[in-house]
Amino acid sequence: MRRILCAAVAGALFLLPAAAHAQAAGVKIGFIRSQAVVETAPGRTDAEAAFRVYIEGVRGTLGKMRDSIEKLVADYQKGEATMTAPVKAQRQAAIRTKQEEAQAKQTQFEEAARQKQVELMQPITDLVKKAIDDVRAEEGYTVLFDVETQANPIVSIDKNLDVTDRVIAKLRLMPKPVAGAAVKLPADAAKPAIGPVAAPAGVTRPKPPAE
């Protein structure tokens, strides 16, 4: 989530097109370190916690689907020797259908998770943008660079131009974004349990039964 917010911070900065422009009269240049700004953004930890809850629910549903498929495969393999050809074909088709359903559901949940991540972070992104714009306007800066963006072309810079601390100070005076509605899971996602979670695990496709 922090990469999304840092990217938004970079997009909020006014970038100078060419070094020659920096020499123009009246131009005042500064820079920020976006990671430090993001770390102090009000509401960030709450948004990240809400996203973890959301992901845990999704993982629970995908895990149940994976377990169901693995059971189908295990049952098939256990009774395969005594099955007639039509029964084998029917069971194999049922397993393939379940696998395809699980893959489609995983894709659906991944897209829903991306949308939820953006939704949760948008109020914080807006707050960070405002803090940056306020510092730039109040202190008369023409341009502010983000020296931590991946596309950063700067190889050397005067650290006295760093306004990160002033942006952070501005952020700390701002109220935490108002919490939105409770985090909604996809309709068929499992109810999350309490506890730490990792990134969402995909549905592992069990080895299909031999024809």
The 10s digit of each residue's pLDDT in 23-40 is: 455 788 899 998 899 889
0.75 exceeded by the pTM?
Answer: no
Q: Which long-range contacts (CB under 8 A, 24 or more apart) does 112-116 make?
A: 112/58, 112/186, 113/54, 113/55, 113/58, 113/200, 116/51, 116/54, 116/183
Tens-digit pLDDT profile for residues 107-158: 999 999 999 999 999 999 999 999 999 999 999 898 888 888 777 666 567 7
Instruction: Output the six-digit token pair for 148.
Output: 């931590």
pLDDT for res 91: 94
Q: Where are the domains of the chain?
A: 2-172
Residue 112 class from Cβ within 10 Å (0-12 exposed, 13-18 middle, 19+ buried)?
Answer: middle
From 3, 44, 6, select the one nearest 164 (Cα to Cα).
6
The span from the CA of 162 to the CA of 179, in Å, is 32
- Decide which of 68 and 14 is more confident: 68
Task: Categorize the per-residue pLDDT at 16 as very low, low, confident or very high, splitting at 50, 70 and 90.
Answer: very low
The span from the CA of 136 to the CA of 66, in Å, is 52
Question: Tell me: domain 2-172, CATH 3.30.910.20, correct?
Answer: yes
